[in-house]
Structure 1
Amino acid sequence: MKRYWLMKTEPETYSIDDLKRDKSEHWDGIRNYQARNFMMQDMRVGDAVLFYHSNCKVPGIIGLAKVSKEAYPDFTAWDPEAKYYDPKSTSDNPRWFMVDVAYVKTFKEVISLSGMREMPELDGMRLLQKGNRLSIMPVEEGQFRHICKLAGC
């Protein structure tokens, strides 16, 4: 069964243009257990991803990606020089995981967070719920289809 996700990134760190250039990339640095569990337990190759730019002038959904490799240990947690190093995570007992995502499409315009808040079709979307700060979250199929319709895909 195909699932739908929203994955947040700061465009200054890794943008949709970076993913387009790279074609596929590992989604590392997740240090929240709920987001990690989504990757480990629920994400499958072929799942669709809404690519969301956060912490920028106009936060919102900027494009589409897809899961191209299922969860595997996040090796950046083992590197003492890495931003997301975790000494409690080891190759024998990994604490953190990542998936690979592949580029699909860039939208002509950002579907802004403020605009989404005004859409009754997106009522109940986790992204729009007060206090939800997860960087990875599931999206209902109807919500995904509505976003795609707005983006003209």
Structure 2
Amino acid sequence: MNYWLVKSEPDAYSWDDFVKQGKAVWDGVRNYQARNNLAAMRLNDQVLFYHSVAGKQVVGLARVSRESYPDPTIPEDPRWVVVELEPVAALPKPVTLQQIKTEPLLQNIPLIRHSRLSVVPISTNEFECILALGHA
């Protein structure tokens, strides 16, 4: 199993929007590295949902419910892909970017090192650490 972190601006698409919808086609990614990360996602991989810009915190856990396929919003350009995600659970306590930056186990997390990417892989240890912080 792989672990991922996806970002969304809560004013555009929040965790609450995601939960109400029940699943989401994760589209609109137009960065090649983030696209490659989407393409690497596998069914049932675990995904942390991060509110970027406003809030700057991990707020929930999702899973990959459909692996990558061509982005239907731009059928004329097969370079771009989407995945489908389903919400699993909100974190009891959001994990802030500040907490992540001060946690020794998270010093190399791609959220910090590649802060502009909207889809990043994370290690098992990073995933488990964030979940533990979210349940503390």
TM-score normalized with structure 2 length: 0.94
- The answer to whether the Cα contact below 8 Å between 2:91 and 2:131 also exists between their aligned partners in 1 is no
Please state if 1:9 is matched with 2:2: no
CA distance in 2: counterparts of 1:105 and 1:72, whole angstroms: 25
Are 1:59 and 2:56 counterparts?
yes
Please list every run of 5 or more consecutive structure 1 residues that lacks an aligned counterpart in the other structure: 79-89
Q: Match for 2:85: what amino acid? A: V
CA distance in 2, matches of 1:97, 1:59: 25
Residue 93 of structure 2 contacts residue 135 of structure 2 at CA under 8 Å; is this kept in 1? Answer: no
Work out the CA distance in 2 between the residues paired with 1:118 and 1:38: 26
What secondary structure, in the 3-state scheme, does the structure 1 residue paired with 2:61 have?
strand
C-alpha displacement at 1:100, in angstroms?
A: 0.2
Question: Which residue identity is paired with 1:139?
Answer: I
Q: Deviations along 1:18-55, whole A, 9 cap, x unmatched?
A: 11111111001000011111112x10010000100001
C-alpha distance in 2 between matches for 1:6 and 1:63: 10
Greater C-alpha radius of gyration: 1
Which of these residues, 47, 59, 70, is aligned with residue 45 of structure 2? 47
What is the one-letter code of the residue matched to 1:111? V
Identical-residue share of aligned pairs (%): 40
Q: CA RMSD in A?
A: 1.4
Aligned residues: 136
Question: TM-score, normalising length from structure 1?
Answer: 0.84
Could you tell me how far 1:77 is from its partner in structure 2? 2.0
Take 2:115 and 2:61, find their aligned partners in 1: how far apart are those partners? Answer: 21
1:97 and 1:125 mapped to 2: Cα distance? 24
> Displacement, 1:111?
0.7
Shift of 1:132: 3.0
Q: Which runs of 4+ in 1 moved over 3 A?
A: none
